[in-house]
A and B are shown apart, each in its own frame.
Chain A
Amino acid sequence: VQAHKEDKPQKLLEMNGHTSVPYSYNYDLIVIGGGSGGLAAAKEAAKYEKKVMVLDFVVPTPLGNSWGLGGTCVNVGCIPKKLMHQAALLGQALEDSRKYGWQFTEEVKHNWMTMTESVQNYIGSLNWGYRVSLREKNVTYENAYGEFVGPHTVKATNKRGVEKLYTAERFLIATGERPRYLGIPGDKEYCISSDDLFSLPYCPGKTLVVGASYVALECAGFLAGLGLDVTVMVRSILLRGFDQDIANKIGEYMEEHGIKFIREFVPIKVEQIEEGTPGRLKVTAKSTTGNQIIEGEYNTVLVAIGRDACTRKIGLDKVGVKINEKTGKIPVNDEEQTNVPYIYAVGDILQDKLELTPVAIQAARLLVQRLYGGATSKCDYVNVPTTVFTPLEYGACGYSEEAAVQKFGEENIEVYHSHFWPLEWTVPSRDNNKCYAKIICNIQDN
């Protein structure tokens, strides 16, 4: 692939909007980020026989961890999470099965390495599958860090530091996010994040999970399900943004099943007591409501306090793409277009949109269909269903009760609800009256 000189970009600035100018860029479309959104866009564009390149690069975690093509979902998100959640559910199934007449040894232990190896092998097959898929569709893939250096031009830097320049008529930013750290002494040296957890080459042992996001609760949930001693440290509320009535039920269920919660505390320091796999860490935490200080000892501290968009170091200033300075997210119009007409964005980095794989994929595909297929359908971000895979799973679609009350007024909504006991839990006699469902209806339109 050829590099282009820097004076050419001047001409590029003049070109705008939809008039096709006979100018030969290297590519029709360059996608920065080979995750859910990015790959979906690339594969869709290839269908229209466009010349497409995907740049994907994983900056290693503070502890040195990295992974292959596919993005967060495949490598350090949805997929390994669901598999480990399944492992935990199977632990519960083992216990239930005794009540259903199955007999086996009293003591059953879980082997972290067996599970993790299986999970990583499966992920490896997905990484491979994506590479093959891109090759079959004639999409050029480079394992290189992409950043804008000028109009219509990106620089791709690979692992060995070799730099190349590429130009394209259009760009799609789909760089996603990475876990946020606490910003306290010892966090990057001793704490792990979800980026490290799913490939941890040793059992995490007694774990402190910091955070109350769905990532924190899902991880805490399956770690406890695998038999580990788990504590969750929460600054204020659980599952911010979700229906709080349900969020509390989830927390209660987790507590009843052995997960400890330390509420209204934040860690201020993490120190290493002993090295090892796992080692021993001392965590000092301060109350958010007073001056109380507490200390605790854990083998592993998992930080899950949120994720930050990967938009600060990709040269957006060089091409004038505006981002929300505070959050790092990119505002787009309803066609996923940034303020720079030839630059689009999809996925977790979008401002005010949902951070979900299927949403990124749908938005990406529809975008490409509009760009190259003459389609007009826009991504519908309303009423997107989602599920939190905590030990007691929570599926939802539409308004939370609070949001409905706020939007329509309490007198204008009717909430039908019910506790129920899954038939499968009757024989093992567990968790009667924990399951719950509610439907929020608008009285005014029946």
Chain B
Amino acid sequence: GKNEYDLLVIGGGSGGLACAKEAAQFGRKVAVLDYVEPSPQGTKWGLGGTCVNVGCIPKKLMHQAALLGSALKDAQHYGWNIAQPVHHTWSVMAQAVQNYVKSLNWGHRVQLQDKKVKYFNMKGSFSDPHTIRGLTKAGKETVVTAENIVIATGGRPKYPTHIAGALEYGITSDDLFWLKESPGKTLTPFVFNVSLECAGFLTGLGLDTTVMMRSIPLRGFDQQMASLVTEHMESYGTKFLKKCFPTKVEKLESNRLQVTWKNTDLGTEETDSFNTVMWAVGRAPDTKTLNLETVGVKTNSETGKIIVDASEATSVPHIYAVGDITEGRPELTPTAIAAGKLLARRLFGQSSELMDYDNVPTTVFTPLEYGCVGLSEEAAVQCYGSDNIEVYHAYYKPLEFTVAERDATQCYMKMVCLREREQRILGLHFIGPNAGEVIQGFALGIKCGATYPQLMKTIGIHPTCAEEITKLHITKRSGLDATVTGC
């Protein structure tokens, strides 16, 4: 029989919605299935996926709330008279953030409607390569068939279920952004960017926050930059328990949580109590209930992510995947969106353009932000050898920090270039205010193959932090002091 839809997208997040809306532009019959399995703590949310509901958006807004706390301190140096002490009320912020997120959920539904994309608030699973069985919350079943199916179900935070009490008493980022009341004294064990970002803004909002890490922070990122980020957080007030890992979580009579952990350095066992324990041990692809085995979609045995080729195709014809669920791709909203759009154009728009995953810029929104594009120094050394790369670097002080008397010790940037020939720029790393805004523009240059001489010809905008990038000239190799001094 004929398939009902030209395209069925399972997962209404960044990748899924972008793909569906693009396909609809070509006049195709498109449907989207989106369903949020409540978190173990019972948190759930509307259409839009992780980014909108429990990721990028609320994270950045709470990060902004924390930054504004710093701004209040700075403001006094700039002449604003604010009576101390200043208080932060979590519920006011949470309400405002949650309201905004809900407006986005609404906006997405309206957009799908406008573009004539059918939306099912149902959990989908494969019956066969062209048939999806959808189940509503109430248990009502609907069968949907489609010529092409795109899996964009994303991921969910993992729980360290081997730790006693972890599941019962801990929360994850899925819950943090929807808490109505302050999390209070918080522990975030393990260290992925999510946990550093959350620990960062919690500290900025005045909460007693501790990060526990077994080994290195921000795995996969340039480690020198990762250290500067955590160093700054330490001076900012976040507590770090290094070389430690938790062994159990128990609930006390006061409703506080007692956490026990091992310190691998000292070989001791320690304990302390917290109001909240937020796990950030990584995210697992949301494929459990999809029934992928039935249709033969291959996944990576280690990560569980769906294996796709350069055109986002899975091992089964007419079944594709985009976003966080795919193996070997960056877990970022903009790449999911771009991949989803390009996929739709290839399927329905006679395009043959493939997604380019190289040189994707990204930013970690810790209290002192870290933006980067291209290779880390380690990756460059591994790829080309340390003799063949040149690293230009500089410590700088944002002008705005001067009058505010703020410590700029970790404000740092570095650029990794090839040493030979045109000296192509391989990677750019920047720690400082508005890192995302700074790196975005340079990403275009790197995409176009910018070279060090070209950068030197680029005149900076004064006075900004970004201009310091155009002035990079001290190499690590020279061993000279890399502190920027005046104009």
Residue positions of A touching B, CB distance < 8 A: 36, 39-40, 70, 73-74, 78-79, 82-83, 86-87, 90-91, 93-94, 96-97, 99-105, 108-116, 118-119, 122, 126, 129-130, 133, 226, 356-359, 361-362, 377, 380, 384-387, 395, 423-424, 426-427
Contact = CB atoms under 8 A, between A and B. Distances in A.
B61 A423 contact: yes
Interface string B85-114: 011111111101100100000000000000
Contacts of A90: 71, 74-75, 78, 80
B461 A94 contact: no
Contacts, number: 163
A138 B462 CA distance: 27
SS of B interface (majority): helix
Nearest to A70: B487
B403 A36 contact: no
Nearest to A82: B463
Contact of B61 (A91, A110, A426): A426
B81 interface: yes
Contacts of A133: 485-486
Contacts of A114: 77-79
24 contacts: A70-B487, A78-B463, A83-B403, A87-B79, A90-B71, A90-B74, A90-B78, A94-B82, A97-B65, A101-B96, A102-B88, A109-B80, A110-B81, A111-B81, A114-B78, A115-B78, A122-B402, A126-B486, A126-B487, A358-B461, A358-B467, A362-B459, A426-B61, A427-B100
Contacts of A423: 57, 60-61, 64
Which of A73, A90, A356, A385 has the largest number of chain B CB atoms within 10 A? A90
The 4 closest A-B pairs by CB, nearest first: A115-B79, A101-B93, A87-B78, A100-B65
Given A93-B75, A109-B80, A114-B78, 14 more contacts: A40-B487, A70-B487, A82-B400, A94-B75, A97-B65, A103-B89, A109-B81, A110-B80, A115-B403, A122-B403, A133-B485, A356-B459, A423-B64, A427-B64
Given A83-B399, A424-B64, A357 B462 contact: yes
A116 B78 CA distance: 8
Nearest to B71: A93
Nearest to A113: B79
Contacts of A384: 459
Interface string B20-55: 000000000000000000000000000000000000
Contacts of A79: 399, 463
A359 B459 CA distance: 7
B68 interface: yes
B237 interface: no
Interface residues of B, number: 48
B93 A110 contact: no
A102 B69 contact: yes
Given A110-B81, A427-B100, A102 B86 contact: yes
A427 B486 contact: no
Contacts of A94: 71-72, 75, 80, 82
Contacts of A93: 68, 71-72, 75
A249 B459 CA distance: 26
B140 interface: no
Interface in B368-407: 399-400, 402-403
A74 B89 contact: no
Given A70-B487, A104-B86, A424-B64, A380 B457 contact: yes
Contacts of A40: 487
Nearest to A100: B65
B464 interface: yes
B460 interface: yes
A91 B80 contact: yes
A387 B86 CA distance: 34
A313 to B, nearest CB: 26
A387 B93 contact: no
A349 B411 CA distance: 35
Contacts of A82: 399-400, 463
A84 B242 CA distance: 41
B487 A39 contact: yes
Given A86-B400, A122-B402, A108 B82 contact: yes
Contact of A100 (B68, B78, B400, B461): B68
B82 A105 contact: yes
B83 interface: yes
Interface in B431-477: 457-464, 467, 470
Contacts of A387: 461, 464
